Amino acid sequence: MKEFHERFGMEPAGVWSAPGRVNLIGEHTDYNDGFVLPFAIPMRTTVAARPADGPFWTVYSRETGETVVISEADLRPGAVNGWAAYVAGVPWALRAAGHRPPFLDLAITSDVPLGAGLSSSAALTCAVLAALVDLGGLDLSRDDWPAVAQRAENSYVGAPTGIMDQSASTLCRPGHAMFLDCRSGDREHVPFALAEHDLAMLVIDSRAPHSHADGEYAARRASCESAAQTLGLRALRDLAAEDLPAACGRLDEVTARRVRHVVTENARVLETVEKLRGGSVTGIGPLLTASHASMRDDYEITVPEIDTAVETALAAGAYGARMTGGGFGGCVLALVDADAAERVADAVTAAFAERGFTAPTWFRAVAAGGATREA
Ligand code: ADP
Ligand code: MG
């Protein structure tokens, strides 16, 4: 990697990468012990590394233009802030799990957009983890990578993410989405080969400002927890669809709608998995669109830019469309015929211009593979 050579004046011992992800369906279900269905995207974060001369991790990121030196004394939460915390958190989490990660010089490049909801943070932690595990010869099964990377984000960086992002970034397979049970950790790789069906998945970044997202996320989480408590359930995952009407009768109107989103969204994930197992990709379209309506009307986490993108994509012929990610901005997915991708994206761009919104960006996502050694 040229960045490694420029910064450290020699060749790296190896190069590793890990992808960003989008969630096909299953939004705000993770913290309710429910189901999600992410797939890895072709955009990746790449880490070139070699053993360091001294007891330090020296890390350069092309995306920030900065170099940060992390010492052993920095391996405690709060010692490193900003982007380098995502790097320092990984050897910290490895040590906490009883491993001895090697000291490295690291150079990082990424084509995952930062902070767009495509999980550049997990791509970064998982790529760094891959380098540390390989160069250190650490005895850490691939199945255990997501928990280590999650611990780095949750406890070192202080970012409250579930296990989805790190699981997708480490374990996804090309041409498959990953069905993940957030309670048991069980995973199934479900066929999702868009090109074989002459289909494309547009990912449209609304570029809407993410205002209030953190506070609203905390509020949704709290209302799910209090609803589960009122209903005497361990988590909303345990509320069966047929018991929903009776349960809603015991909750205030707003909380009832929040609960309805979670219960119906879990059911939609299961139905989506069924369709994909049966080889019907266009069959998931109505489920995607229903998921969006539920996020808009029941969970109330969409914004005008996002709703405009979904409505316009559907009007332009998409089989289904929905916001993906935590909400209040971020990206929209639209399932379209491969040869219609450009036209649908142009229609969304035009609709944004008409309403005076910042122009969206977009790309075609295919389901890519998880963290890997590149060289
Ligand atoms: P997302 O994961 O959706 O992109 P997050 O807010 O979880 O958004 O993570 C984004 C943060 O992760 C950035 O602000 C930055 O601190 C860090 N980050 C991600 N990728 C890189 C990178 N290549 N170089 C430096 N920092 C990065
Ligand atoms: Mg993130």
**Same domain membership, residue 14 and residue 149:** yes
**Same domain membership, residue 173 and residue 221:** no
Does a structural domain hold residue 374? no
pLDDT tens-digit map of 187-204:
999 999 999 999 999 999
Element (H, E) at 143: none
Tokens of 268: 């939609």
Q: Is 76 left (phi over 0), alpha (psi -120 to 50) or beta?
A: beta
Does ligand 1 have an atom closer than 6 angstroms to the CB of 110?
A: yes
The pLDDT mean for the chain works out to 96
> What is the rounded radius of gyration, in angstroms, for the C-alpha atoms of the chain?
21
Atom of ligand 1 lying closest to residue 117 CA = 3
Whether residue 117 is annotated as binding a ligand: the answer is yes
Does a structural domain hold residue 370? no
Residue 98: partners with Cβ closer than 8 Å, 6 or more residues away? none
**Same domain membership, residue 173 and residue 95:** yes
Q: What is the DSSP letter of 118?
A: S
Q: How far apart are CA 164 and CA 158, in angstroms?
A: 16
Number of H-type helices and E-type strands within the chain: 11, 13
Measured in Å, residue 114 CA sits from the centre of ligand 1 at: 5
How many domains does the chain fold into?
A: 2
Query: Domain boundary at 193, 226, 256, which?
Result: 193
Above pLDDT 90, what percent of the chain?
A: 95
pLDDT value, residue 211: 75
Q: How far apart are CA 137 and CA 96, in angstroms?
A: 17
pLDDT-derived band at 214, boundaries 50, 70, 90: confident
Does a structural domain hold residue 52? yes
Above pLDDT 70, what percent of the chain?
A: 100
pLDDT value, residue 75: 97
**Same domain membership, residue 351 and residue 296:** yes
Residues forming beta bridges with residue 363, ordered by sequence position: 203
pLDDT tens-digit map of 115-153:
888 999 999 999 999 999 999 999 999 999 999 999 999
Does ligand 1 have an atom closer than 6 angstroms to the CB of 115?
A: yes
Does ligand 1 have an atom closer than 6 angstroms to the CB of 276?
A: no
pLDDT value, residue 94: 98
Does a structural domain hold residue 187? yes
**For the residues of 18-51, what is the DSSP string, one character each?**
EEEEEESS--S-GGGT-EE-EEEEEEEEEEEEEE
Measured in Å, residue 314 CA sits from the centre of ligand 1 at: 31
**Same domain membership, residue 338 and residue 202:** yes
pLDDT > 80? residue 172: yes
Q: Quick one: average pLDDT of 306-331?
A: 96
**Same domain membership, residue 337 and residue 313:** yes
Does a structural domain hold residue 375? no
**Same domain membership, residue 182 and residue 66:** yes
Q: How far apart are CA 234 and CA 60, in angstroms?
A: 44
Does a structural domain hold residue 78? yes
Q: How far apart are CA 26 and CA 180, in angstroms?
A: 10
pLDDT tens-digit map of 223-266:
999 999 999 999 999 999 999 999 999 999 999 999 999 999 99
Backbone angles phi, psi at 93, to 5 degrees: -70, -35
**Same domain membership, residue 292 and residue 183:** no
Q: Whose CA is nearest to atom 2 of ligand 1?
A: 119
Backbone angles phi, psi at 143, to 5 degrees: -65, -20
Q: How far apart are CA 265 and CA 275, in angstroms?
A: 15
Q: Which of 22, 83, 126, 128 to mutate to test the pocket of ligand 1 (most atoms within 8 A of CB)?
A: 83
Measured in Å, residue 352 CA sits from the centre of ligand 2 at: 26
Whether residue 119 is annotated as binding a ligand: the answer is yes
Q: What is the DSSP letter of 78?
A: T
Measured in Å, residue 215 CA sits from the centre of ligand 1 at: 20
pLDDT-derived band at 209, boundaries 50, 70, 90: confident
**For the residues of 297-313, what is the DSSP string, one character each?**
HTS----HHHHHHHHHH
Whether residue 61 is annotated as binding a ligand: the answer is yes
**Same domain membership, residue 299 and residue 230:** yes
Does a structural domain hold residue 301? yes
Whether residue 31 is annotated as binding a ligand: the answer is no
The two beta strands, 187-191 and 176-181, are antiparallel
Catalytic residue set: 165
Does a structural domain hold residue 372? no
Does ligand 1 have an atom closer than 6 angstroms to the CB of 81?
A: no
Tokens of 58: 């020296």
Whether residue 28 is annotated as binding a ligand: the answer is yes
H helices present in 235-300, as ranges: 244-248, 253-277, 285-297
* CA torsion through residues 145, 126, 329, 270, sign: negative
Measured in Å, residue 192 CA sits from the centre of ligand 1 at: 27
Question: Residue 142: which domain range?
Answer: 2-193
**Same domain membership, residue 209 and residue 188:** no
Atom of ligand 1 lying closest to residue 122 CA = 2
Enter the pTM of the model: 0.95
The two beta strands, 176-181 and 104-110, are unpaired
Q: How far apart are CA 284 and CA 280, in angstroms?
A: 7
**Same domain membership, residue 127 and residue 16:** yes
**Same domain membership, residue 199 and residue 180:** no
Query: Domain boundary at 193, 224, 252, which?
Result: 193
Query: Domain boundary at 163, 193, 223, which?
Result: 193
